[in-house]
Structure 1
């Protein structure tokens, strides 16, 4: 696996992105992580000297093009792209503003497309590579009060399937990992919203989310990273177009 020369992980400053970057660097792959906060990126870079941080906004095409140019000039072309950056809000659909809807689509769906677009031609010419979208079980089923997020993540799954077919004869695989509720900063934000809007205790709010997992627990970021690491391995070359649920049995 270390023969892969360079990986990109968006949203790499925290949570699942951080875990994925550390997993890839842990097997000897140089990793460029990006996000909007340099301090968070620097903290992850300090954990492994094969990780390099560049600020970028996944909703801005020019920002990502500049990221590619900077990172590839320093460390070579990307062989692995992990489109992980995402965000979620919460409100009833009829109370969701167009601005909130658009922002969610921009970050989760359009941002995923803009993340991988610059790599498609070069990976096809190189006859190999790995593209992995970090989607969600929300891309495989419905949830109430997060309609924009569910729509965006379903879109990510559709994008993945289209690219998998398009790239099938090039040696490039395209897949998605679909976690359930993962114990990250984003989960804590969701818990805080539930507490604020319902008056439940922190423990009750966490339990209301955990109950969706048949194993009765939250997914750990390292479990998602392990699935990504496997999809990046040489022996996963026949796995493409798949949505791999990392959810304790919530979806399949």
Structure 2
């Protein structure tokens, strides 16, 4: 029970990587606030955990983030652990990309992380300790074709992570990024469906295209990402800050 008594907030907590992180946090004794756009699946997940609450949140709206974090604090106290997991990935070649696509990718994947970091830091600085982990993707470490806006936003998350790590280095707070490769989640299943629809390839061929960049030749499992996050939350990782940890089977070295 390494995190007994700690209050952890997870965005995008209803499924995939977020849900796996929630399970791991709860197993280690943390009180968990699940945040996401759709309340029903968050409530269902929270009902299965010993100490959990669900709060609907659109991370792209600054005022909504402030209100949600105040609400979370009222129930479980100041935030000790912040997991920024909410994200979206839309595809488009740059020459066909409209403003709405670009702005949406920035709003969800970068602005939302900034808003949540800002609100959690207000509480962590008062208590003199904290952990912030941004789920940034290997798209923060390299480029991928047809997801330029997503990659740009995730590169921005890594820059934000490193800057915050320096700002908080003497405050008892660490700020790190976990960068999963293609992970077995609904987001990747949507990507496979998109490849099938646009190219006429089979699902097996589409999956092979995504996994060929992973030297292990497979999709990462959400629980593997959660394990990296849990280590960063642990007391033993107190000297680790400003880092980008790739969980991608050796894709990025």
TM-score (norm 2): 0.97
Aligned 1:120-199 pairs, distance under 5 A: 120-199=121-200
Counterpart of 1:8? 9
Distance 1:119 1:192 in 2: 36
Counterpart of 1:56? 57
- Which stretch of the first structure deviates more once superposed, 108-117 or 3-12? 3-12
Q: CA offsets per residue over residues 197-242 of structure 1, 9 Å max, x none?
A: 1111111111100111000000000000000000000110000000
SS in 2 for 1:193: helix
Q: Is the 8 A contact 2:4 2:28 kept in 1?
A: no
Distance 1:183 1:50 in 2: 27
Q: CA offsets per residue over residues 108-133 of structure 1, 9 Å max, x none?
A: 00000011101213312322110000
Counterpart of 1:110? 111
Residue 51 of structure 1, CA deviation: 2.4
Unaligned runs of 5+ in 1: none
SS in 2 for 1:131: strand
C-alpha RMSD of matched pairs (Å)? 0.9
Residue 68 of structure 1, CA deviation: 1.0
- Which stretch of the first structure deviates more once superposed, 212-221 or 47-56? 47-56
State how many pairs are aligned: 252
SS in 2 for 1:32: strand
SS in 1 for 2:209: helix
Residue 66 of structure 1, CA deviation: 1.0
Residue 43 of structure 1, CA deviation: 2.5
Distance 2:130 2:43 in 1: 27
Structure 1 residues 4 and 251: alpha-carbon distance in aligned structure 2, compared to 1, 3 A threshold: farther
SS in 1 for 2:169: helix
Residue 2 of structure 1, CA deviation: 2.3
Structure 1 residues 2 and 24: alpha-carbon distance in aligned structure 2, compared to 1, 3 A threshold: same
Counterpart of 1:93? 94
Q: Is the 8 A contact 2:6 2:29 kept in 1?
A: no
Distance 1:128 1:69 in 2: 18
Counterpart of 1:214? 215
Distance 1:122 1:71 in 2: 11
Q: Is the 8 A contact 1:5 1:76 kept in 2?
A: no
Aligned 1:216-231 pairs, distance under 5 A: 216-231=217-232
Residue 45 of structure 1, CA deviation: 1.4
Residue 39 of structure 1, CA deviation: 1.6
Q: Is the 8 A contact 1:4 1:79 kept in 2?
A: no
Moved >6 Å (runs of 4+): none
Residue 4 of structure 1, CA deviation: 4.6
- Which stretch of the first structure deviates more once superposed, 219-228 or 50-59? 50-59
Unaligned runs of 5+ in 2: none
